Every structure is written in C-alpha cells, then in structure tokens.
Chains A and B, each alone.
Chain A
C-alpha cells in the first residue's frame, strides 16, 4: 500500500471511518439537549388545564407510586399559548423556542421504567437501564462513522462537571473505546483543558513537522520489508493528529464568530456551548449532547416555580438561536434536534416530612415529553398524549426504544439491523422492541 493512500479518509482500522447507513437518511447529525434531572412536562410542553380544576385536591383514580410521596394536584404556575400556524401549545418558559413551533414535533406520550435517575439516564442514553451498553452516540458512530477525522465524532458537553452516572452516559460499552463520547467542560476557555493533548508544550509546530517527516521516513524504510495495513494506519494516525491540532483549535474558538451571532446565542456558558456545538456539527461531528450542568439541575423537587424558570431561561434563548442559525445556514433540514430529560415530573405536589408541600414535583416515569425538530421531522405537531392530568402516557404510548428506533430511522438505519455481536448475541440499541413513530416523519 502506497504512502498517503488513505491520507484524506479515515484509517483502515479506525472505527470512525465513514460508512453508508441502510437507506438514504433524512438527518446526518444530531444535537441533543439533555435536561438532566427530569424536566416537568406539565410546565413546558404538555398543558393540563384540568390540574387547575383539581388544584389542592387529590387526583381521582389510582395513586401512582413514584420515588417520593406526592399529594394534591399542582397546576402549572406558567401560562401556555398557541404558537405558529400549527397552534402548538407551549408554555411561557420556552417562548423563544416557541417561535419555531411549526418545526417542532412534541412526543407527549413517553414513558420509562422506574422513577429513579440512574436507571432512567441509562435507558435514555444506552437503551438499557442496568447493563453497560453502548450509548446512542456510540451506536451512531459505529453505524455511520464520522465525516471529519480531525475531530472526535461524538462530543458530550456539560458545564461545571459531569452529570449523574458520569461518563456512563456516553459510554461505548462493548464497542471500541474510540466510539465513546468525548467529554468537554465548556466552562474552560483554554483549548488544552477542553481536549486532552491537543497542544504540544514541548515542540513548536515547525519542530513537530520536522519530527513527523523523520518519522515518516523511518516508517517508510521499515515498510519495505513489512507490509501490514495496521502499520500504514498507524503512520496515518500521526498525520491526522497533526491536522487535528489545527482543526480543533478552530472548532472550539467561538471568537471567530461574528458579534451578532455570539450575541444571539448569549454570552454565558449555555450560549457558548450551544454555539460551539453548531461549529462542531458544521465540521462533521456526528453527535453533540449538551447537558444542562453537573449533577442534575432539572431535578425540581421543591420550589419549582423559581428554579424551572431559571433553568429554562438558561437554554430557551440558545435553543431558539441555534434553530434560527441552522435554518439560515441550510443545516436545519439534515440536523436532528432532540430535547428532553430522563423522565418527566408528577402533576401532583411533592410532600416532605409530615406531609408538608414542597411546592415541587417528584420524578415521573409514567408519562413525559420530549420533542424533536429538523432532519426529517414533521413540525407543528403532537404525538400521543398523557391522561387528563399529565401523569401517565395513555395515547400512542412511546417507549425509549420507540424514540431510538425513530431517531435511527431518520439517520438511515433499520434499528433491528444495526447490530453488534458480543457475548454470543447480536445486540442492538433497541434490545428486542421499538417501533418507528411514523406520524412525526415529514
């Protein structure tokens, strides 16, 4: 194999080499706003006027057990309004995002398995609440590879540290380690702290170039007696690394954006990480996951009125700015946007010691909302419904496997055929179930 035969593409034994999916995809990349902690659906995308009617009274019907005790119906303190031609109802908490209502499909009938963060995070990210399984992003890289070998193909950003369950959320499981998400804390501003070993403290670019030239010559001499594609691959990995240093510097540097763009996203960590995400997607990164913050900021057990307003305020502007920006750049049509958490919250009020109201909501895995927009999504619509109070998904119930199957479909995959042989079995992201939600497809 001649020198440079692979110089522009991926390495022969790189798991990141680009592959074609099963069929023509609608979306080529994904951005996932992960509202970790569990966003309340009845305060955001699933209006429930009946809660006002029952305010302060217990809900009729079966008491659904969640993690903690809850009491009476707790109406949303926020106003909902119809937006766009479709008249999609969205709460005032996301009034900026609502400008894109006609692009958004809300799935109001999601459900998970248990009312606990850890297993639900695993289910949402990896399709299995217990076992160590590859995350959605790792599966996607396994299936599609990356379009840009000079950047990591899957980036997880979380300001201030890691979410609960740490890097398990973007793990590669039994897939090659290189398919795992690369964690970036956007609170750092220096590139060296964003990506490991991206700059050399002990060689200038000129020194390094001379070293790499020598390395190429030494390796080429050895190649004359040894022909092994793995050796060729390793040679190329040094050239890629050399270029990656330049490309990563560029991708993470939002100072290269216009002042207008930076202002639209907002000069705060959520604005910055959303703008970095767009720069990454633009450069061919396959999957960017934006977490709200370390721990579980959206876990609004008490005093939800103030805390959810703050957290929505952090991201409403950046999400709206991203959607507008993608549309303007012609990237909206093939970028899939996902918004959601690991579960939703109870429509009833959480009770603390001695049955005292906490003015907050407990975890709710019986019913919650996510929404999608962009690549292949029919906007301005709602899929499924929770009961009249928003406790439990009742119409067109959608499991996390259904969500993953739908996303994979948009990305060009039959989720039943995207498999990997491990421990004697062909594993898939959706385990043994999952139906594509056809009605939300454009």
Chain B
C-alpha cells in the first residue's frame, strides 16, 4: 500500500523533487503539506466491480479479493464507531440481510445516530486535547481539580454526536468567547485551551502548552520547537512562536457557570472571595501609588528582579516584580504620554515628539534635565505624592493616572488565578483558599462550568524571548499567523489579541494543513495507521503520506461536505478497502476504554448515563463508560498507564501499544474482571452445554463449536471436583449486615449481609458512605447505623448447638452532638431480649436465653431520631457454657476460600481474558 518515491515526486511535481532527494531544509517551504491539497480526480480503474466508493479507486483491491464475513464486519464497524461490541442479535440480523451494501448503509446510520458514537470519537479528540480532571502539581492552598473539565468533555462528546462541522468545532474551541453569546453552552469548548497543566501558574509555560495543543492538534505543526530558537527543520521561526505567544498572553482565564445556580452557600463563598479580593487589591494599589519613584528606579535594574513564575513576594513592603514589568510594558509605549513623555525622552536620549502636550506639573519638574535615571524617578515620585495631596486641576491628571485600571499602579481585576503575583504571601494564601472554596462548591453542585480565556485590554506587541528566556527580551513582533501558511505578505491580526483571527486562519478551507490533518486522524482510527504515520507532525521530517492523492482528495472532499466528520465515516466505511476480509485488514487490539467498556457491555452491566460528575475509575460501583471516569494527571491510577492510556500531560496523537505483565495482573487479580465474570455467570441457565452457548453468544457473538463446549465441560468438572475435595472452611459464628427493626413485633424484619470488607470494617461498598446503605458500617469495636431506620446495622451471631447462652457487653455513644442511637438484642426464637437508647452515655447490654442450633441473636443499632454523630461502641460477648465468643476478638473478613470464584465464574473470566475478546478483525 505504499508508493515509490518517484511516483510521489511525480504527484507533487517538480517542486518537491529536491526535497524528495533528502535535502529537506533547502526546500522546506515547498514541502507538500504546506501547499494546498491538489484537486485530483479519483483514478480510473480497469475493473469497477471492486469499487464501492471513490476511495477504492485510489486503493484498488484485487478483483476477487474476499470481503469480510458478516460477523467480522459488524464487529469491526461497531467497535470502530461506538467502541462497543454488537449484541448477538444485531450480528444475526445483519448476517441475514439479503443486500449487504444496503445493510451496511443502515448499520452505519444506526451507529452514527447512537449517543455512544460521540463517547468513542470524543475520546479520540480528548487524547488530542490532553484532557484531565486535574491541574497537575499545585501548591496546597489551591484546589487541585478543574471545575470545568467534565463540561468540556461533555461538549466534545455532544459535538461529535451532533456532527458539528469541524471548522466550527475548532473555531469554538479557540475563540468561543468572541463567537457566542454570554451563557451559551458552547463556551465550554474553550476547555481545549484551558485544560492543560497549570505549571504552578507560570504563564510562559501555560501559553507554551496552549500553543502546542493548538498547532500540533489542529495543523500537525510542531511550533513549540521554536520557543528557544528557530525550528530546526520546519520553516517556523522564533518570531512566529512569539507572535502566537502574544495572542495568548493578553487574556485571563475566567470561570463561567453555564446554568443558573441558586445556591446560598455558593453565593456566600463568592461574595467573601470578591470582597476580600477588592480589599487586597486596593491595599496593594495604595502601596504602588506611594512608590512610583521606586518602580521607576527599578526600570534601570531589571536584572535584579526574578522572572515571571518565580517572583512571588513574601512581605507587603517588597517591590512587586510583576508591577516592575507592568511599568516596563507601559513605558515602552509611552513616548506620547502627557505624563511620561519626558521620561521616555530621557531614557532614549531623544527629544519629546512635537505635538505632545506634557502635563504642566511634569513639564515644570523637568525644566532642567535630570542627571540620572534615579534622579528622574525621584522627580516623578515626588510629583505623584504631591498630586495626591493637592487639588490643582493639573494634579487631577496625575491622580487619574494612578487610578486608571490599565495603569501599572493598579492591580488587574482578573481573579487570583491571573493576578496572584501582586500580593504578599499571606494574601495569596488567603485568596487562593477562598477561590478553592468557590471551586469546591461548584464541583460539589455539579454545575456545568466553562473555563474560558477572555481578552483583556490590548497589550503592546509581544517581544521575542531570546533563547526562550523571559529575562532576555529581543525584538518586538506583531501578533500574526505563521508565515509558512500565511505567506511573507501576511497582515498582522487587527482585533485585540487576534485569537479569533488565529482561529479563523486555522479553521479555513485555505489552510493546507487543517483538513488534511483531520481526515488523516479519522483514517488512522479506522485503519490503525494514518495515511501520514505521524498524525500530529506534518512537517518536513514526517514520513511521506502512503497515498498522497487520496489524502488530498479526502481533504477537499471533507471541506466540500461542510467539514462533516460523519460524512467521512460513511465514505470510508462503505469502501471495499475497509470491508476487506480479516487476513487483509489490520486487526485492532482493543484499547483500554474499549476493553473495559466491552466487558461491562457483554455482561449486561454497562451503565449508559451520560454527562456530569466523573466517577472514580476503580470504584466497584462505577459501571459507566470509561470516557466519563476521573482522570487525575498528577496521580493517574497505575492501570491507566499500564494500558497505554493517553498521557494527559501532553497532546497525544498515537497511543503506545504495549504488552506488559501488569496488564495481565489487572485482569487476573484485580476486582474488575472477576466482578464481570460473576455478573455474567449469574445470568447463565440450564445445562452445561447451554450455558457455554449463552456465554459464547454474549462474549463473542457466535456459537461455540463442539470442541469448545467439550473443553468448557472438562474445565468445569475438574474445577468442581477441586471444590468438593477442599477442606471444609472454618467460619466464625458472626455475620454482618443491615436490617430494619420491626417496632410492632419487636423483631428484625430482614437481614442483608454487607457485601464489602475493607480489612477493618464491613460496609455496603468500597466507598463509605456507600450509595445504598449510607453510613452503615461495623468494625471490631462498634460501628455506625445506616442513614434511616430501614438500614440499622446488625451484628448477627448464629448458634451452632442447642444450649443456654449468656450475653454481656456495653453499648456506648460518645459525641455530644446529635441525638444518639437506639440498640436492641433480638432472638430469632424469643424476640426482644434487651433494648436501650444512648446519647453521650452507656448502657449495659446483658441477657440470657436458650437457643437451638441455627437460631440467630441480632445486635441491632439504628439512628436515634436524626442521622448525625451516630457512631457507637458495642462489641458483645456470647458465652456458651465454657466457650466464649467475643465479637471483637473474632471479628474478621470472609475466609480466603469463600472469596474464590465458583467454577463457572472462573470459566467466564477466562473467556473475557482471551485474545478473541481483546482483538477485533
């Protein structure tokens, strides 16, 4: 499927010849990917029988090449489009169809219309967008989770489901703030920019990350390489890099709730944050106004001040390096400023431009030239201090300057995430904590929130950082698009930061890269490899496209079809080349999400809830699709890494695909696969061979062969004989669970054993409080009742022999708060033996009774009146003649053997671990 270099050369024409002869640097601007896709007609083929779509004219199949059988095809398409297996019924009905092409068409439409489609293809984009629910390393004062991440994820999924035109999809992700109205759900799209690592607030690094995700993600250009020096291979200069740097520099990150929130607690926290922020800003501004002389003097010794990111001040009386830089930027453009024109003239050793009207007070102060920069600074300092005290109209201009929101003597009103470098340490800690309180509340409420970039007032043009160092400023460059695309005669961006213009230049039919890069990504996810093997590097060092004509034709077609991603799927999936038989088609190894989701799907457990708060991946109760799970880039669970999940720290174009024993350990020993095996085998009915057939249908969507049935039956019988010959398990006489006290009959209405043992307590689930049984829990010493009286916690003792027993023990409730708990000792034969209510008190819980073997004695505790501070201590002792059963000493988890999978569960687990399950033809 590859073309010779000579053929490529003839396709791209003479211009590329030199480049094809391995002298890339010489002909970089002639590089194929930097030129518009050619308008190629699908080649004519000698025999059109194998042509299903025009794609087949570019990659002709052999005339009698076999196509995939029905089961293979529907599995391939279903996994590809929705990331899940088809059901056995779907396979059967597809196989029965008389007209395969028609059935394929219907299948594609059904899959593209499924909400599951966006979950699968949205996840591909989230790899590109380095999606994570957390900010990466942050200081302890800051909330480490992103508030907006789930909203962005849900927006991406919906955009794919809605087939939002790809150009619009990109525009919104880069500049929604300038395209949609306030409160629009599309603002969430900007999570693309704002979802990267926070780099402990260092702005250069945050911007660098954004430049990378935008340029590599949308155009396959590695612009980031030009941060410190011109790109080594591609025609991208440091000037280009800083032009884009300027686009992203002049904005603030702003949290925007996308739904009305009527929450008093949130309002209180927001109010506290904003009033404290206002106060701290004014305090800092007062210090800035009083020290103009110091800040001007600092302009002569910039080297003394640390660069952005390492410039936090500790005490309030320190010079604020961020303000020193703000002064620098302000003065840089102040040659016509009525107050500072004399300063600029002095520093640049030039005359004040004609026509500039200098404030009379300033003019008077500079009637004689100052001797030094420090001297000039002192004059300004004195002028401003003086102006604060007098009411002369000329002084009003000076006072107004001091309070202008754009003046370097103020602190920008941009939120602590953007302005923390202006405050002393204690104020930073205080404000970040309050910001965290707001963010935590929003997360708790699950409010959809966008984190947008909003442009501030226009900034001076960016300047190149020599060798990437912010302390070594080079030439000024305009904010503008990359020369390699926009050409030498490009015009600088006109409006504000230029971010919208940047977005338009990317999401443009005239951009030679954007459409090519996306169709290549689509191709890659259908065939395993892109037409260009480096989907996020289309630079001169990238490998040549395997089918350049096809790539160009697809790119133009994509644009012509209104940038419809779904149209591309149709085109590709209907082609003969996609429908080839398994031997000709690269089999797909399921990625982590597909494996996990497929296991949940075949056992019938998959929870199809969409949107909202991210559940923990490893929580046993989490049966949602993996795309919704919490991704913590700082503490990524090992299983994500083990299975080559996209590293959320960086834009990922192609996932690694590795085999390591840790993957096998996860499925063999982890709870996940075992739980799936239990769930599926619980659904089996009938004789062994029927069970095997049910399993094969569910897991593989096919019938088991006689050999397979025989192997299964042999396995089950060997495993059963093991269980039969195993030593009997010695269990204690204690059981642990929940139930409800029957007030009328003074008995226990029901007993439901706790399913989960943590190693030190029995409870409803691994998470406590669990969803169903709430706070119910039993430990060796005591426990906690469930949230309502329907969920009392019950420690049960089962009599082994007929005898008289003595029960002793003390019930204790300690907390002052709340209203205490109620407790009962209930005999299954004799009814209530004892009851008590305690609150900050103890009660003796002794009783005597006669029991028969199999009788139960229940030690029941429920909430007093309300659920509040209900933890209690109570570990009863039951004496049977000379034998003592001490609840505390005998407390423990299930015996190891009782946890072992039953034979059918063992067998089911094996099927789920097989290669046939993990690979799709």
Contact = CB atoms under 8 A, between A and B. Distances in A.
B656 A176 contact: yes
A176 B661 contact: no
Nearest to A183: B638
Nearest to A180: B641
Contacts of A414: none
Interface in B199-224: 199-200, 202, 205, 208, 212, 216, 222, 224
B715 A16 contact: no
A178 to B, nearest CB: 5
Contacts of A208: 668
A207 B915 contact: no
Nearest to B916: A222
B344 interface: no
Contact of B224 (A11, A177, A223, A423): A423
A12 B587 CA distance: 17
Interface string B133-147: 000110000000000
A424 B635 contact: no
Given A11-B660, A241-B662, A424-B222, 8 more contacts: A178-B644, A200-B668, A200-B669, A226-B582, A228-B587, A234-B915, A236-B659, A423-B222
A131 B539 CA distance: 21
A130 B205 contact: yes
A283 B901 CA distance: 33
Contacts, number: 206
B669 A176 contact: no
B670 A197 contact: yes
4 smallest beta-carbon distances between A and B, as pairs: A424-B222, A177-B641, A241-B664, A240-B661
11 contacts: A131-B208, A173-B647, A178-B644, A198-B665, A200-B669, A202-B669, A207-B900, A210-B718, A226-B587, A241-B661, A423-B225
Interface stretch (A213-221, A308-316, A377-385, A386-394): A213-221
A347 B818 CA distance: 57
B234 A424 contact: yes
B913 A238 contact: yes
Interface in B285-338: 304, 306, 310, 314-315
Contacts of A207: 719, 722, 900-901, 906
B137 A196 contact: no
Interface in A206-259: 206-208, 210-211, 214-215, 217-219, 221-223, 226, 228, 230-231, 233-238, 240-242, 244-245
B645 interface: yes
Contacts of A203: 668-669, 900-901, 906
B310 A177 contact: no
Contacts of A222: 914-916
Given A132-B650, A234-B915, A423-B225, A214 B711 contact: yes
Give the size range of A's interface with the partner. Answer: 35 or more
A240 B906 contact: no
A222 to B, nearest CB: 5
Given A178-B658, A215-B913, A235-B915, A166 B634 contact: yes
Interface string B884-913: 000000000000110111000011011101
A65 B304 CA distance: 9
A174 B644 CA distance: 11
Contacts of A221: 707-708
B674 A202 contact: yes
A178 B719 CA distance: 34
A201 B234 contact: no
A14 B658 contact: yes
B916 A237 contact: no
Given A16-B660, A218-B711, A424-B541, A177 B722 contact: no
B917 to A, nearest CB: 10
A116 interface: yes
A425 interface: yes
A198 B670 CA distance: 9
B282 interface: no
Nearest to B229: A432
A228 B919 contact: yes
Contacts of B657: 13, 230
B662 A65 contact: no
Interface of B: 136-137, 197, 199-200, 202, 205, 208, 212, 216, 222, 224-225, 232-234, 304, 306, 310, 314-315, 534, 536-537, 539, 541-542, 582, 587, 589, 634-636, 638-645, 647, 649-651, 656-666, 668-671, 674, 707-708, 711, 715, 718-719, 722, 896-897, 899-901, 906-907, 909-911, 913-916, 918-919, 921
B711 A237 contact: no
Interface string A173-190: 110111010100000000
A325 B728 CA distance: 47
A350 interface: no
A12 B315 CA distance: 59
Interface in A2-39: 11-16
A167 B674 CA distance: 29
Contacts of A342: none
Contact of A197 (B542, B645, B662): B662
Given A207-B719, A241-B668, A424-B541, A168 B911 contact: no
Contacts of A406: none
A369 B897 CA distance: 55
Contacts of B587: 226, 228
Contacts of B669: 197-203, 245
A114 interface: yes
A150 interface: yes
A117 to B, nearest CB: 10
A82 interface: no
Contact of A237 (B582, B659, B722, B899): B659
A65 B137 CA distance: 25
Nearest to B234: A424
Contacts of A424: 222, 225, 233-234, 534, 537, 539, 541-542
A218 B906 contact: no
A239 B34 CA distance: 49
A214 B907 contact: yes
A11 B661 CA distance: 9
A296 to B, nearest CB: 13
Contacts of A217: 711
A172 B642 CA distance: 12
A432 to B, nearest CB: 9
A176 B649 CA distance: 13
A149 interface: yes
A165 interface: yes
Contact of B137 (A118, A210, A236, A238): A118
A71 to B, nearest CB: 15
A334 B621 CA distance: 49
Given A130-B199, A425-B225, A210 B659 contact: no
A68 interface: yes
Nearest to B199: A130
A318 to B, nearest CB: 27
A196 B638 contact: yes
A204 interface: yes
B901 A13 contact: no
A424 B532 CA distance: 13
A112 to B, nearest CB: 13
Contacts of B136: 168
A129 to B, nearest CB: 10
Contact of B650 (A16, A174, A200): A174
